């Protein structure tokens, strides 16, 4: 599948350099959380807000080129607040530019609700969610909803099979009777509102990285939008979580991390995971 880069490896290189070594239409799914503008300058290179859109559009064009026609690209990023100015607009500008300039379709925006940190902010409430933007080349994409469906609850089955008689309580005269499809359903499909706590703390094996998402997040997208053996790519793989998710779900992966220290620690996490798997085979 990959002409130059080997699959099931992460690479200590800039993602632009890495993506350029991949052939057209070779990736099934891209999921990433890039460095945010002007944030965590003490731990990795930060892109100024005024340059961020132009910087990422170059990467976006390579993602578009290498993504399969029915593939998906998930981008987790949230704008920060500038003192005295309110929320920055660079993320909104980036989303629009990816659609208008790169030609991505914006399929959906997911709300990832996570644990909020204690504290009080002067003019707003605690931040407890982040968006995940879903892009694709076309609206006809690969999707496997049964992989993330849950057994339907008993009370939902009873409600779907309830027969309405008489007047409605509010007097509207409108009664919603479940369709035959709803009455015969055995699985409940998730919404675009995901609830996964970010459990990184002083005891976590990836606490050394400043911006880690929980493995449940890539698990959801990998299960829902790829099948076994598909290729998942994370251009900013950081602590290696996307690779671990791909391994656990029997997908192939490639990741890029420009920081040597993070790259080496991510490699160790992946090696430890592979060692655990080998114990059972």
pLDDT in tens, 114-154: 976 666 677 888 889 999 999 999 999 999 999 999 988 76
Same domain? 164 vs 244 = no
Same domain? 158 vs 98 = no
Q: 149 exposed, middle or buried (CB, 10 Å; 0-12, 13-18, 19+)?
A: middle
Structural domain of 122: 9-149+190-278
Q: Is residue 143 part of a domain?
A: yes
Strands 252-256 and 231-234, how do they pair? parallel
Quote the DSSP letter at residue 36: P
Same domain? 115 vs 218 = yes
Same domain? 124 vs 217 = yes
Angstrom distance (rounded) from CA 255 to CA 235: 6
Same domain? 274 vs 225 = yes
Q: In the prediction, which pLDDT does 224 show?
A: 98
Helix (H) or strand (E) holding 28: strand 27-32
Same domain? 138 vs 94 = yes
pLDDT in tens, 10-30: 999 999 999 999 999 999 999
pTM for the model: 0.85
Rounded to the nearest 10°, the torsion over CA 4, 226, 143, 206 is -110
Instruction: Domain count for the chain, please give it.
Output: 2
CB distance 136 to 64 below 8 Å: no
Q: 216 exposed, middle or buried (CB, 10 Å; 0-12, 13-18, 19+)?
A: middle
Angstrom distance (rounded) from CA 107 to CA 255: 24
pLDDT in tens, 169-198: 666 655 555 556 556 667 899 999 999 997
Angstrom distance (rounded) from CA 81 to CA 76: 17
Same domain? 118 vs 15 = yes
To the nearest whole percent, how much of the chain has pLDDT over 70?
Answer: 75
Rounded to the nearest 10°, the torsion over CA 132, 138, 143, 149 is 50
Return the CATH number at 273.
3.40.50.150
Place of tokens 């300039």: 101
Same domain? 117 vs 208 = yes
């Amino acid at each position: 599948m990959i002409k130059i880069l080997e699959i099931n490896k992460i690479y200590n290189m800039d993602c632009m350099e890495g993506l350029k070594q991949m052939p057209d239409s070779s990736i099934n799914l891209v999921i990433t959380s890039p460095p945010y503008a002007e944030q965590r300058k003490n731990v990795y290179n930060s892109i100024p807000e005024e340059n961020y859109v132009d910087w990422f559009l170059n990467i976006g064009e390579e993602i578009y080129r290498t993504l399969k026609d029915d593939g998906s690209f998930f981008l987790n990023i949230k704008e920060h607040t500038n003192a005295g100015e309110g929320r920055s607009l660079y993320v909104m500008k980036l989303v629009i530019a990816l659609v208008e300039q790169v030609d991505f379709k914006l399929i959906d925006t997911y709300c990832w609700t996570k644990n909020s940190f204690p504290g009080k902010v002067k003019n707003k409430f605690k931040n407890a969610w982040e968006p995940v933007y879903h892009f694709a080349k076309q609206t006809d994409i690969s999707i496997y909803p049964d992989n993330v469906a849950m057994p339907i609850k008993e009370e939902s089955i009873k409600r779907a099979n309830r027969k309405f008689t008489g007047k409605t309580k509010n007097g509207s005269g409108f009664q919603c009777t479940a369709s035959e499809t709803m009455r015969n359903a055995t699985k409940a499909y998730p919404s675009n509102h995901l609830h996964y706590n970010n459990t990184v703390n002083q005891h976590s094996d990836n606490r050394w990285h400043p911006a880690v998402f929980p493995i449940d997040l890539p698990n959801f997208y990998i299960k829902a939008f790829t099948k076994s053996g598909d290729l998942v790519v994370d251009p900013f793989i950081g602590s290696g979580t996307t690779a671990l998710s791909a391994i656990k779900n029997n997908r192939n992966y490639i990741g890029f991390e420009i920081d040597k220290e993070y790259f080496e620690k991510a490699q160790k996490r992946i090696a430890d995971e592979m060692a655990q798997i080998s114990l059972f085979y």
